[in-house]
């Protein structure tokens, strides 16, 4: 009697086929895992960028509020108010001045430390917050990973007054342009994209009023 040759279905799956299927499955798993990793990484980057932008906006709001409230007296500390008209706008990474806040004139310090890439905004003294004393220091904003190219540009106005043939010149920082740049990590901060936040015309209201008063005096010339 002649034996019937088994069909392919009856023979089952060969070892070679199993190996090929296993290889294909491994490739699919690796591809899916890589895709998931990329998606997760991008989600983290977006989250970091959003948080960084939020922090930058908080810092910019603090800077804007403080400059708006800058007091005309005592005069601006850092950078020092010039005694002659500068040929170019004055730029700085550190600002120090007194501000009219909360019934007091606390000292405001806005400083970018280029070595650590940290921007710090502090308020010291009465008026920083309810109940603050002369030695109270309030941190209004502190953000890391701020690019060292961030800076403040101060506009200087001059008023000359002549009385009895004697001319006196007064100088005022009436506006400040703020440019804050949050860049790629410099000191181990989370990965993020470059973000630039600018306010080109922050008016120091009290100083502007003082400039206008000086310009309104008899014999005064200049601009505010």
Q: How far apart are CA 102 and CA 184, in angstroms?
A: 37
**Which pTM was predicted?**
0.75
CA angle (158, 155, 106) in 5-degree steps: 95
Q: Quick check: helix, strand or coil at residue 150?
A: coil
CA dihedral for 103, 107, 110, 116, sign (positive or negative)? negative
Residue 92 CA from chain centroid, whole number? 14
Domain-embedded: residue 25: no
Q: What is the pLDDT of residue 32?
A: 56
For the segment 121-134, the average pLDDT, to the nearest whole number, is: 94
In a domain, 206, yes or no: yes
Given a cut of 90, whether residue 182 has pLDDT beyond it is no
pLDDT tens per residue, range 86-105: 999 999 999 999 999 999 99
Range of the domain at 154: 40-94+146-222
Domain-located, residue 177: yes
Q: Stretch 105-123: mean pLDDT, rounded?
A: 94
Confirm whether 86 is domain-assigned.
yes
Give the model's pLDDT for residue 38: 44
- Res 99: pLDDT: 96
Q: Which residues contact 11 (CB under 8 A, 6 or more apart)?
A: none
Mean pLDDT across 15-23:
66
Phi first, then psi: give them for residue 107, nearest 5 degrees: -85, 125
Instruction: Look at residue 165 in the predicted model and tell me its pLDDT.
Output: 85
Eight-state DSSP code of residue 166: E
pLDDT tens for 32-60 read 555 544 444 444 444 555 777 788 888 89
Concatenated DSSP letters of 81-119: PPSS--SS-EEESEEEEEB-BTTB-PEEEEEEETTTTEE
Percent of the chain with pLDDT over 70: 74
**Mean pLDDT, to the nearest integer, of 180-187?**
67
Mean pLDDT, residues 169-180 taken together = 95
Which helix (H) or strand (E) is 198 found in, with range?
strand 195-203
Q: What is the pLDDT of residue 41?
A: 46
User: What pLDDT was estimated at residue 91?
Assistant: 96
Counted domains in the chain? 1
Structural domain includes residue 125: no
Query: Could you tell me how many residues make up the chain?
Result: 224
pLDDT at 154 over 60: yes
């Amino acid at each position: 009697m002649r034996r019937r040759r088994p069909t392919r279905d009856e023979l089952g799956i060969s070892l070679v086929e199993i190996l090929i299927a296993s290889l294909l499955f491994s490739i699919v798993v690796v591809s899916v895992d890589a895709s998931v990793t990329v998606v997760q990484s991008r989600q983290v980057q977006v989250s970091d960028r959003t948080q960084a932008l939020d922090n930058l906006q908080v810092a910019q709001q603090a800077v804007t509020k403080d400059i708006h409230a800058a007091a005309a007296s005592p005069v601006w500390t850092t950078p020092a108010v010039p005694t002659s008209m500068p040929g170019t706008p004055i730029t700085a990474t550190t600002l120090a001045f007194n501000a009219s806040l909360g019934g007091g004139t606390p000292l405001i310090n806005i400083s970018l430390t280029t070595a650590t890439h940290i921007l710090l905004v502090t308020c010291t003294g009465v008026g920083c917050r309810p109940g603050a004393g002369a030695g109270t220091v309030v941190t209004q904003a502190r953000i890391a990973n701020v690019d060292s190219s961030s800076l403040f540009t101060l506009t200087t106005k001059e008023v000359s007054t002549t009385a009895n043939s004697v001319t006196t010149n007064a100088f005022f920082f009436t506006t400040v342009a703020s440019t804050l740049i949050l860049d790629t990590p410099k000191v181990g901060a989370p990965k993020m994209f470059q973000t630039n936040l600018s306010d080109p015309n922050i008016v120091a209201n009290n100083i502007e009023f003082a400039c206008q008063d000086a310009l309104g005096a008899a014999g005064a010339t200049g601009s505010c």
